Structure formats: structure tokens, C-alpha cells
Chain A
Amino acid sequence: MTATITTDRRPTAGGRAPATTGPRRDRIRKNHPAWFLVPAFAVLGVFFFVPTIFNFVYALTDWSSFKSEIGFVGLRNVRDLITSGTLLGSLRITLVYAVLVALFQNLFGLLLALLLERDTRINRFARVMFFVPVIMSALAVGYVFQAMLKPDGAVNGILGTVLGRDLTIPWLGDTTWTLLVVALVHSWKWMGLSMLIYLAGLKTINEDVLEAARLDGASAWRTFRDIRFPLLAPAVTFNVATALLGSMNGFDVVQATTAGGPARSTELLNIFIFRTFGQGLFAQATTMSLVLFLVVVALAFPVIRTLRKREEVL
């Protein structure tokens, strides 16, 4: 959830400034010599470019914890991963998880934003409460839910009291539905952030437009469907893109709740990578993370382009 995607379409301050000429240009040169950029580039290089390049390089080697030499093996790691089928399995689980999280997180966030739109005292308090999970440690959230969702946990206890009978549903023990449960936990943790962004989006909608709609006799639902939701497009872009791409890189919540179980039905690619790396198969793990990187990139561009297209009507 650390990805930042700019949805601001105004030209940025430095972009396409009118060409400066003569002495003014010289002065700028003198005040801002190019070598000022070196520290920034060095940091960027060491912490971003080099690891990324290494990711490509090591994926083509047989680097492992078992021996000191690192040899070049070409595309063998990729071939092995594809033939064994485990990579594709994990990738499918990761994609399903990401789509579910994107869906739920935005649904919950939008509902909360609409519910808490008015600036009353209670709403302000509720907004803070719903934002608390966002700043909580993801592992803590995972462990709390793991305890609550046990067959003898709090969730079954509460449902049992309401329904008046003993429940021992193993929420995290089903090979089909547990993925949905962990996606819901992930969405619960991050829905406060989506709520905040949707709230900001709702605030920017021009009151005149809404008033005009009211005067034309549009119902609340009609106003939402045809005016407010379309005008929220930039917020939707940001929220969907960050939720989808952020949960592609998901690890912490799932590791804490199910650790990939039962029967590896919630084993996201990152958990699989973690496991493989821990077995000393460093090159294979690197290859997998390269695959994840490429999939996220391949997914990011069309998703963001499609969502940005929606904004063009504004």
C-alpha cells in the first residue's frame, strides 16, 4: 500500500516552463549546479536501480545458500517454475486476492464516505475510528483476526449468541472461501484510507451542480449515480489502483492470519517467495519476485490508463 500514483492532471510546476534566456538562465545554472543532483541520484541508484537490476541478474543464476559460487544458468529458473505449475497457481491466487481486495476496499470506503459525509461531531469521531486500522501494524491486525476467526473464537461466539446455537465454523480452514475471508480482513484494514480519499473527492464536488440537480427534481440515488459518482473519478482511479497493485504485493495480513494455508489456498506469491528464499533457493525466489514485478507492471499500465480515460469526461 505504499504506491503513490498521481491523479493530479494539472501541469506540474517545473514542466514546460517558458524557455529562459540570457543572463537569467546563467544565474539559474549558477544557483542550481547539476552536481546538486548527485546525492539524490546516488540514493535512488543504491536503493532503487541497483536492487532492481540485481533482481534481473540473479534471476538468471543458480545463487543458493548451499554453495559460495554463483553461476549463470540462463532461463532455467523460469522454465522450472513454469513447468512445476506452482508459480502459476500462486499467481492466480494473488490475482484473485488483489481483485477481491480492490473490490471490497473501495465498496466499504465509498459507503463509509457517503455515510460520514456531513461534518457532524459524531461523523468526525467515526471517521477517526475507521481510520485507526490503517495506522495499525498489519501483522497485529492479522493476528487479532486469526484469533477472532478460530473455530472457538470471538466471531463464532458472537454469531452463536445471536443465532442462539453453538457455532464452530473454521473461517480460516476452508480451501475455497478462506481467500475471501483474508481479502475481507485486508479490505477492513485499508478501507479507512479509501474512505478518506472518497471524502476528499466528495468535498470537491461543486455545490452548484448538486443544487441544480435538486432543483430539477433528481432523487438522491439519481444524483449519486449520474453526478456525484462520475465526478469522483480521480478518487476512484487512485483508490482502485493502489488497492489492486498494493494487494498484489500483499504479504503481512495473510502471513499473520493463515500463513498461506489451508492447503496453500491462500499462498500469495510473496508468501511463496518468502518460503522459497528461506529454503536457501535464492535464485528461484528472485525469479519469482521478478515475475511478480513484471505482472504488477503489466497490470498497472492498462488499469491506470483505463481509469484515467474515465476522468477525461470531467
Chain B
Amino acid sequence: MKKYLTAAAAVAATALVLTACSDPTAGGGSQPWDAESAAEWPQQTADLSGTTLTIWAAQNSTTVPEAVVGAFEEATGAQVDVVTIPDPYEQGVQTKVATGDKPDLAFWQPTASMLTALNAPANLQPLDDAPWLDAYSPDVRDITGILDGTRYAALITSPAVEGVYYNKEVFAEHGITETPTDWASFVELARTLESEGQTPFFEMAGDRWATQWWVQVQLADAAADGLWDRVNAGEERFTDPTILEAIKSYKALVDDGLFNEDIKTATFEDQADALLAGDAAMVVQVNSFFGQLQAKADTAELNEMIGFFPISPSGNVGTFIPDQSNALVAFKSGDESRERAARQLLSFWLGDGYADFVADRDTVSLQTEVPSPDTVPQALLDVHASLADSVGSMQALAVANPDLYIYLADMIQGTTTPEEVARQTQDHFAQLARAQGVEGF
């Protein structure tokens, strides 16, 4: 009897293994997308009573949709639940989607590498003929959100730019009237400040993620020259001179004592506090850093104290890096009516609801017809202005997004060398690229 049961259990287990050995997100439940339904964009305020939509948001984007969602609920009778997925957000979402758990809409980094990470062709609704596209200002319309010629993400706010945030008062104290015009003058300025007893730069290696901006802004010229295309094709590697030299020069600046003393343990919050207090003169960061500053000071104070300039080796070119709070993706949930309602919410958000949305969020408008509110701080307007001639970051242009920031943070902790950072990043990049089936890896 015992033997019989064991055999039966083994057979059952084997059968389960054989039948279930496929990706749960691989079609099946979701409907195949056809051109007919793709063309259908419901009226922005069509009645949606009884429909419930779910939006996934990260801890730092969960308040973004509040006002616009409220207006949408009022106009259509739909119910919209905003669910916060705990940090690390991208990991959490990818894991959930892998097990077949999908929302109707989610905040998502609209870069090709992150759209690939969600397996966009299988999981996301294409937004190619969305009604709001013509309303965008031409310079941001096609800047991101597109994978292999198909648009999957709707940009709602100005994409982040890597650049230098500086304390205007500290600059004034040291008699600096002009911001640096290229990398050499930027470093020279830092050395001058350091010799005058002022900490020039502040880095947050305790929280790690901002370390990569230093390397990426140094790659702006190379990126404009097709660096990431060559990396994607396997023709150039992180260990080759272009990227390795950028890592080395970052290390050299740290070794020269141009950064804060507590660089190893400092956090994102410390960084914002230090710049506001003038403990450090400059910080290389992205838009979310300014959000942190806004949490600590009001617009008038910020306009007076904080300035922004983009930096690149040969000039003032910014490196853009759209992040998760800048865009939304709509999932193929398998339920045609909810998929349509999700498209309707996006149409409303970037249509009738957009003016109220930018006013509520105090953010730069992406649409020519909708003016940015007067209360948007000057630094944010400068960031947005630098977008037009900016180049793509690693996240925006490389096929995969390796853990460069973790390896760089290790280097700052003193456990690895720049050469090891380059090798680890290349290995990780190759691993991710191969998992995606990119040729040459």
C-alpha cells in the first residue's frame, strides 16, 4: 500500500511539473492584442460605474495620482485603488508580475531596459495611437517610453536629468558668479573650494543609488557618440577605457578628499540636509533629490538657495534618466472592459485632467497647451530646459540596467578597485542581456 501511494504521489508530482513548467504570464489568460481594440480609445468621461481599477505605485509616487484619480472617480463613477508596493519597488513589481499578479496601471520607469524587464510585448497594452500624443511638446513626445518601435508608457511628468545641484549662497560666499562650463572647470572649482576650507561635493554611499550619476555624467559625450549602442552589441565593454576611466576619475575625486567625510555612511536625507545647510557646495543628483529638498524648504527659499546646471565632459549637456514616478504603463489584465477603462484613465489624466494635475503637483507641464504653474521652483524649470539637448543615460539607452551603483558603493567602502567595479558591472550586464536573449551575449 505504501509503495503504491509513493508511486502515485511521484506520478502526480511529475504530471504537475510537466504541465506547469511554463511562465504563468505567458499568454493563456490575457487576450491576444488585435489592431481593432488598439484603435479604440473611450471618451475621457464615459460612465464607468461599477468598474474598479488598481494602480500600483512606489512609496515616493503613491501621492502623485491622488488628485487626478479623485477627479476621474467623480467624472466617471469608477473606483480607483492606488496600492503602494514597498521598496525596492521594481523588484516587488517584477516578482508579482512573474507570478501572474497584475494591476491595471502601474508607475514604471519608461526606459527600454525596464520595459523589457516587464516583458512589455506580453504584459503591457501598446499606446501607439493614444489621443494625448499630439498635445505633448515636440521635444519630449518621443523621448522615452518606446520599446522596439512600440509605445508602452505614458509620460506624465518631466523626465529626470542627472546634473549638479548647487548652493547659491556658498558660491556667492566664495565669489563664484559663473557656473562651470565643462568637466575640467567643474573639478577646478571644486579644488578651489576645497582649498578654501569648503567641502565641495556630497555623496551618499550609505544609500548607494546616487553613486552611478558621477560615472554617467562623465559618459555624456560618449553616449552622444553611440557608446551604449556599442555596449549593447557587445562591441565595447565596461572594462574598456571609456567607462573604466570615468570610474577611475570618480575614485580619484573621492581619494582627493573632495567629498564629505562621512561619504561611506551618508544617506539620501543627509545629502539634502547638507546642501541646504551649505555644508557641501554641490551634489550630482536627479529630480527626486529636488523633491527631497522641497520636503525641507518652500519654493521661495529654494529659488534663493538652490541652483542647477547640467555637466558633461566638454560642456553643459544633461544626462536624462526617466524614473518610475515620471510615467505609467497599462497592463493587459485579460479583462477587456478594465483594459479599456485603464486607457480611459490615461486619456483623462493627460487630457482634461492634466492642467489640474500639474497644478496640484507643482510640476513642469509636458504639454504645449497647458502652462506650468507659477509656483514651480526655478531649478526644476532649469532641469526641464536642459532636457531638450540632453543625452540618454545608461538606463535609457542600454538594453539592461546592471548594478553599477552597488559596485561603485563597494568601491567607496574600499573593498573593490575601479577595475573590479568595471568587471563586475560587465558580468552583470552580460548576464541580464543574455537572459533577454540579446545577440552577442
Contact = CB atoms under 8 A, between A and B. Distances in A.
A206 interface: no
A166 B9 CA distance: 65
B4 to A, nearest CB: 8
Contacts of B436: 64, 66-67
Nearest to B430: A80
B427 interface: yes
Contacts of A264: 406, 410, 415
Nearest to A150: B265
A165 to B, nearest CB: 19
A279 B113 CA distance: 11
A69 interface: yes
B119 interface: yes
B208 interface: yes
A45 B9 CA distance: 7
A204 interface: no
A143 interface: no
Interface stretch (A46-54, A118-126, A215-223): A46-54
Interface of A: 34, 37, 41, 45-46, 49-50, 53-54, 57, 62-70, 80, 84, 151, 170, 173, 175, 261-265, 274-275, 277-284
Given A53-B13, A84-B427, A173-B264, A277 B409 contact: no
Contacts of A53: 13, 17
B413 interface: yes
Contacts of A64: 435-436
B189 interface: no
Given A70-B21, A263-B413, A62 B92 contact: no
B27 A68 contact: yes
Nearest to A37: B5
B79 interface: no
B39 interface: no
A68 B431 contact: no
B80 interface: no
Chain B interface mostly helix, strand, loop or mixed?
A: helix
Nearest to A283: B435
B377 interface: no
Interface of B: 1, 5, 9, 12-13, 16-17, 20-23, 25-27, 88, 90-92, 94-95, 97-98, 116-119, 122, 206, 208, 262, 264-265, 403, 406, 409-410, 413-416, 427, 431-432, 435-437
Contacts of A63: 23
A265 B206 contact: no
Contacts of A65: 94, 97-98, 117-119
Contacts of A275: 91
16 contacts: A34-B1, A41-B9, A45-B9, A49-B9, A57-B17, A64-B436, A68-B26, A68-B119, A263-B409, A263-B415, A264-B415, A278-B88, A278-B92, A279-B91, A279-B94, A281-B432
A49 B13 contact: yes
Contacts of A151: 262, 265
A45 B12 CA distance: 8
Given A262-B413, A263-B409, A278-B94, A34 B5 contact: yes
A275 B403 CA distance: 10
B91 A66 contact: no
Contacts of B91: 274-275, 277-279
A66 B27 contact: no
Given A68-B26, A280-B117, A57 B21 contact: yes
A80 B428 CA distance: 11
B432 A68 contact: no
A66 B117 contact: yes
Contacts of B432: 279-281
Contacts of A46: 16
Contacts of B1: 34
A54 B21 CA distance: 8
B17 A66 contact: no
B5 A41 contact: yes
B208 A261 contact: yes
A68 B123 CA distance: 10
A262 B88 CA distance: 17
B431 A263 contact: no
B435 A62 contact: yes
Given A67-B119, A151-B265, A261-B208, 8 more contacts: A37-B5, A53-B17, A66-B119, A67-B122, A68-B26, A68-B119, A173-B265, A279-B94
Nearest to A264: B410
A66 B121 CA distance: 10
A68 B23 contact: yes
Contacts of A173: 206, 264-265
A263 B22 CA distance: 36
Given A41-B9, A50-B16, A282 B98 contact: yes
Contacts of A45: 9, 12-13, 16
Closest 10 CB pairs of A and B: A278-B91, A263-B413, A68-B26, A64-B435, A66-B436, A263-B415, A263-B410, A173-B265, A170-B265, A280-B117
Contacts of A283: 435
A113 B266 CA distance: 41
A193 to B, nearest CB: 28
B352 to A, nearest CB: 35
Contacts of B410: 263-264
Contacts of B119: 65-68
A175 B23 contact: no
Contacts of B413: 175, 262-263
The residue in A49, A57, A261 that gathers the most chain B C-beta atoms within 10 A of its C-beta is A261
Contacts of B23: 63, 68-70
A50 B13 contact: yes
